Amino acid sequence: MSRIVLGVSGGVAAYKAALLLRALTEAGHDVRVVPTPSALHFVGAATFEALSGHPVTTDVWSDVDEVAHVRIGQEADLVVIAPATADLLARAAAGRADDLLTATLLTAHCPVVFVPAMHTEMWLHPATQDNVATLRRRGSVVLPPAVGRLTGPDSGPGRLPEPADIAALATVVLGSGAAALAHDLTGRRVVISAGGTREPLDPVRYLGNRSSGKQGWALARVAAARGAEVVLVAANVELPAPFGVGVVPVGTAEELRSAMHAQAADADVVVMSAAVADFRPASVAGAKMKKDSAGEPDSVPLVRNADVLAELVAKRAPGQLVVGFAAETGDADADVLTHARAKLARKGCDLLVVNDVSGDLVFGQSDNAVVVLAADGESTEIPRGPKDTVAAGIWTVVASRLSPVQA
List active site positions. 209
Q: Map the footprint of ligand CTP across residues 232-271, applying CB under 6 A.
A: 253
User: How many angstroms separate the CA atoms of 42 and 244, rounded?
Assistant: 24
State the CB neighbour count (10 A cutoff) for residue 83: 30
Which stretch, 90-98, 135-143, 205-213, 274-282, contacts ligand CTP (CB under 6 A)? 274-282
Supply the minimum distance, in Å, between the C-beta of residue 306 and ligand CTP.
Answer: 6
Nearer to ligand CTP, 82 or 312 (CB): 312
Nearer to ligand CTP, 31 or 309 (CB): 309
Q: How many CB atoms lie within 10 A of CB 305?
A: 18
* Distance from C-alpha of 310 to C-alpha of 312, rounded to nearest angstrom: 5
Residue 404, Cβ density class (10 Å: 0-12 exposed, 13-18 middle, ≥19 buried): exposed
Binning the chain into helix, strand and coil, the percentages to the nearest 5 are 35, 25, 40
Could you tell me which residues are annotated as the binding site for CTP?
A: 278, 288, 325, 343, 347
Kindly state the smallest distance separating residue 128's Cβ from ligand CTP, in Å. 39
Query: Is 272 a residue that touches ligand CTP (CB under 6 A)?
Result: yes
Annotated binding site: 278, 288, 325, 343, 347
Closest distance of CB 276 from ligand CTP, Å: 4
Q: How far from chain centre, in Å, is Cα 13? A: 20
Pairing state between β 379-386 and 367-374: antiparallel
Q: How far, in Å, CA of 282 to CA of 287, rounded?
A: 15
Long-range contacts of 365-371 (CB under 8 A, 24+ apart): 365/214, 366/214, 368/215, 370/394, 371/337, 371/340
Q: Which is nearer to ligand CTP, 92 or 275 (CB)?
A: 275
Binding positions for ligand CTP, 283-322, rule CB under 6 A: 305, 307-309
**Alpha-carbon distance 34 to 48, whole Å?**
9
d(CA 170, CA 190): 22
Smallest separation, CB 227 to ligand CTP (Å): 24
> Please, what is the minimum distance in Å from the beta carbon of residue 263 to ligand CTP?
14
Instruction: Give the nearer residue to ligand CTP in terms of CB position, either 114 or 325.
Output: 325
- Residue 356's H or E segment, with its range, is strand 351-356
Residues 148-167 interacting with ligand CTP (rule: CB under 6 A): none
Task: Among 274, 362, 371, 397, indicate the residue that binds ligand CTP (CB under 6 A).
Answer: 274
Closer residue to ligand CTP, CB minimum distance, 71 or 346: 346
Check if the beta carbon of residue 319 is closer than 8 Å to that of residue 332. no
Q: How far is the CB of 197 from ligand CTP (least distance, A)?
A: 8
Query: Which CB sits closer to ligand CTP, 99 or 328?
Result: 328
Query: Which positions lie near ligand CTP, rule CB under 6 A?
Result: 253, 272, 274, 276, 278, 305, 307-309, 324-326
